[in-house]
Amino acid sequence: MYCRSQNLILVAIHDHCVLGVWTRMSIRFFDRTAVLDERADEFLKRLAHLGGYCTVDQAQQMGLANSPRRVLFRLDCLERSRFLRRVFLHPFVYQITKSVTRLMGVDWMARRRHPVETVRRRLLAVNFYLEARDWPAQFLCEHEDKVVAFRTVGCPPNFLPSRGGQPYLWEDFVLDPGDGSLCVSVVDRAHCNALLQALTLVRRFADCRLRLRERLSLVLAVGSEARHRLYSKIAKHPKVLGYSRGISEPFSTYEVSTPVPRMAVLTHESEIHSDNLI
Q: How far apart are CA 123 and CA 190, in angstroms?
A: 12
Q: What pLDDT digit, counting tens, does each position of 89-148 carry? A: 888 999 999 888 787 766 556 566 778 999 999 999 999 999 999 999 999 989 999 999
Q: Count the Cβ atoms, other than its own, within 10 Å of residue 33.
A: 15
Please name each of the domains of the chain with its CATH number: 38-113 (1.10.10.10), 132-255 (no CATH)
Q: How far apart are CA 98 and CA 79, in angstroms?
A: 12
pLDDT higher than 90, residue 36:
no
3-state secondary structure of 141: coil
Answer with the residue of higher pLDDT: 10 or 40.
Answer: 40
Contacts of 108 by beta carbon, 8 Å cutoff, 6+ apart = 48, 52, 96, 100, 101
Q: How far apart are CA 205 and CA 194, in angstroms?
A: 17
Q: pTM score, two decimals?
A: 0.82
Minimum mean pLDDT range among 53-57, 235-239, 243-247: 243-247
